[in-house]
Amino acid sequence: RELQRQSRIFDVRRRTIGIDKDALDAQIKEKKIQEATEKAQNEKLANEMKQNDKIMCLLEEQQKNDIRNINKAIGEFRKNFQKPETRREFDLSDPQALKKETPARLSDSDPRCSISGLQKFMGEDLNYAQRMIFQKEQLREWSLQQQRDSRNALADKKRSDDLYDKDRLELDRKAMELQRADEETRRAICAATKDFNRAQAAELAERKKLEKYQTMKDDMAEISSLLQGDLLCENPEQAASSFGSHRVMTDRWKGMSRDQLMAIRNSQQQQILEKQRLKEEEHQRNAEWDRQRAQAARAQLLLERQQQRENQEWRRAVDSVNAELSQEQKSKNIRLKEEEYSNVPTAEYYAQFNTTSR
């Protein structure tokens, strides 16, 4: 029984474990019944479609026969009761139309010659010869009339030119008289203007002379006033301001006195001494700061050297520990290779698997 069980389990083609065979058989049976039912329905539908196709073919054939009979009856009716000569538009396709129709125009006053009929054009009337004779006679009369009008126009032009020449000579004579009168008037006006300008020039010269004398007199008075005034005399009191003794009027101030300049120089000398003292103090402060920075740098350097020595000692200790751990790891690997991993599995070891179904 164990061997049969193993054959069922280990043979993939005959393996039945985990499958409900009865249910599968029932499903197969239902599938076959469903396929048979569908096949019967399809055959029934196919038979019905064939019957419908036959009926459609018979109906189409009957319809074609009915259409053929109707067309035949219509042709017979047209042949017997709708002949070509009874149609309203028969004149458009009548083979005897040219023999039956009348000429396009019987006379120039034919009422059929309408504007839209295009049967009569300019110069194509029946009275063309008589009309050309009349036109030639009319042109000859017009030419003679134009010649007469031209001769009359030349005569009128000659008379108008003669009148124009006479009028122009008369106008030139009057213009010369007016020009002579105008020249005499201009001479009189120029003489009067010259006398008036001469009087105006004399009056202007006298006025300029008086103005020059008055200007020179005013200039001398101004020069005398300036020479005797406080500005050129450099009076220091004139520059005093009403806002205080420490302020002056710049447009009148002539500069500071010797005492004021000496006071300013003394004040500047004191400022120079004060600035030198401040510089000396600042130099001393900077020297003290430099000394303190040098001491701090020396202490920092000593601290860094101490830190480096400590780091070196710690690194030596770590290296020693790592060397010991490495030696232990090597000895452990040698022991595993020589003692633990010395047995190699054989074929008998792998053959003991899948030997039982439990």
Query: Tens digit of pLDDT for each residue in 199-224?
Result: 899 999 999 999 999 999 888 888 88
Are residues 171 and 280 both part of a single domain?
no
Are residues 166 and 249 both part of a single domain?
yes
Are residues 145 and 185 both part of a single domain?
yes
In a domain? residue 300: yes
CA 134 from centre of chain: 77
Domain count across the chain: 2
pLDDT digits (tens, 9 = 90+) for 112-130: 777 666 666 676 767 778 8
In contact, 108 and 127? CB cutoff 8 Å: yes
In a domain? residue 89: no
Query: Is pLDDT at 262 greater than 70 in this prediction?
Result: yes
Are residues 155 and 219 both part of a single domain?
yes
Are residues 208 and 309 both part of a single domain?
no
Domain hosting 172: range is: 135-255
Alpha-carbon span 96 to 99, nearest angstrom: 5
In the chain, the percentage of residues whose pLDDT exceeds 70 is 82
Are residues 140 and 178 both part of a single domain?
yes
Q: What pLDDT does 224 receive?
A: 80
Alpha-carbon span 15 to 24, nearest angstrom: 15
Last residue of a domain, one of 186, 221, 255: 255
In a domain? residue 110: no
Both tokens assigned to 32: 């076959």
Amino acid code (one letter) for 229: G
In a domain? residue 74: no
In contact, 357 and 6? CB cutoff 8 Å: yes
| Bridge partners (DSSP) listed for residue 7 | none
Are residues 251 and 288 both part of a single domain?
no
- Quick one: DSSP state of residue 81? H
Both tokens assigned to 328: 């232990």
| Average of per-residue pLDDT across 40-48 | 93
In a domain? residue 106: no
pTM of the model: 0.24
Are residues 278 and 166 both part of a single domain?
no
| Average of per-residue pLDDT across 159-181 | 89
Q: What pLDDT does 91 receive?
A: 77
In a domain? residue 77: no
In a domain? residue 39: no
